[in-house]
Structure 1
Amino acid sequence: MPKGVPVVTRAQWEALEPVLPMKTHVPQKITIHHTATKQNASRTLEQKLKALQKFSVERSPLSDGRIKEPWADVPYHFYISVDGIIGEGRQLQYVGDSNTPYDPSGHVLIVLEGNFNNEKVTEAQLKSLKTLMLAVAKRWKISGDNISGHKDNATTACPGEDLYQLLPELRAMVNSGKL
């Protein structure tokens, strides 16, 4: 885990064990995603991560009608809820998953709760994202040049326009090493 960042661990949200073997990797990039679902402050982070894990490990229908085959675990390494609480998803030493055709090997996948094509990133989310990104970048020596949105790697609207337009600021922050 990145030092100095408060994170609700897998043990704390009572994550189940992965259901399939996973490939290891070394983080070299950071890729930002959105859940593409409406922000919901009435559910706890723990409830959201348990639901995401259940969806992830089952054969599940996607919003575009395709069927997603089971993944080993939660696809993202970190989940940032609408209130800015950060949850540990898939353990960082394992490659994440995507329902789009790109290889996420070497990518630290961070997802923010919301559909940022029609919602705004909350101040709490942005503060947590900055703190997390800076710590991850420092720990694995990742430069701002290696920060992308999901749509930079695959044909998708993710991470939504409101979040995507923040990437230049986030890259500059990582390159400066300061919040």
Structure 2
Amino acid sequence: MRNYSLRLLIIFCLVFTACRSAKEVSLPKGVPIVTRAEWGAAAPVLPMKEHSPTKITIHHTAVKQAPQKTLQEKLKGLQKFSQERAPLADGRMKEQWADIPYHFYITADGTIGEGRELKYTGDSNTPYDPTGHVLIVLEGNFQVETVTPIQFQNLVNLIKAVAKRWNISADKISGHKDNASTACPGDNLYALLPQLRKAVQQQ
């Protein structure tokens, strides 16, 4: 009886581990990414909803590029802002979020940082449901600035890796303003979306 119970326990543990592993959403391979651990992320401050990536949505920070600051400074600042109830530039009040709203952050020098863990749904200041969306934000205000060449190249590399990893088709790549009433990701970045879709189609 004891051996039978032990076998049942082992089988349960194996099944539980397999199910848990199936839900894990790891980072895409083949693209250098500064992980949360590497830039010193704080823990989330609220519960988050799990999801599976099915779309890719592009954002901009809407703040001018600051090449003098490190990725660590930018992500720590973004996380602090995200985890507090804080006023937005248009006067609205942003409620507290669990963590950085985006899954990836790309600086002007092309460095890619991990934001919110991919297995969790992101957040938005605008009324759309980001469940299933892999949210990628580029540093810059692309109403008035242009995407740097290295920033765009690494965006292409990241999107191709994400699309391949989760079998996301080119027609599932959009800008923030395709999902909500906003100028994000800025006209100069939005104009590059056809090139991103083409890169995914050709891989």
- Of Structure 1 and Structure 2, the greater helix share is in 2
Match of 1:95 in 2: 121
Q: Which moved more, 1:48-57 or 1:168-177?
A: 168-177
Spell out the pairing of 1:1-179 with structure 2 (5 A cutoff): 1-177=27-203
**Match of 1:42, as an amino acid?**
Q
Deviations 1:158-179 (A, max 9, x none): 00011000001111111111xx
> CA–CA distance in 2 between the matches of 1:139 and 1:149?
20
TM-score normalised by L of structure 1: 0.98
Measure, in 1, the Cα distance between the counterparts of 2:93 and 2:132.
26
User: Which one has the largest radius of gyration?
Assistant: 2
Shift of 1:13: 0.5
Distance in 1 (CA, whole Å) between partners of 2:29 and 2:171 is 22
Query: Aligned residues, how many?
Result: 177
The gaps in structure 2 that reach 5 residues or longer are 1-26
Distance 1:151 1:160 in 2: 9
> Structure 2: how far apart are the matches of 1:146 and 1:140?
12
Name the Cα RMSD after superposition: 0.4
Q: Distance in 2 between matches of 1:162 and 1:66?
A: 25
Q: Which runs of 5+ in 1 are unaligned?
A: none
Residues 134-171 of structure 1: per-residue CA shift (max 9 Å, x gap): 00000000000000000000000000011000001111
Letter in 2 for 1:172: K
Q: Per-residue displacement from partner, 1:57-104 (whole Å, max 9, x unpaired)?
A: 000100000000000000000000010000000000000000000000
Give the SS at the match of 1:148: strand
Secondary structure of 2:99's aligned partner:
coil
More contact order relative to length (CA 8 Å, sep ≥ 6): 1
| Deviation (angstroms), 1:125 | 0.5
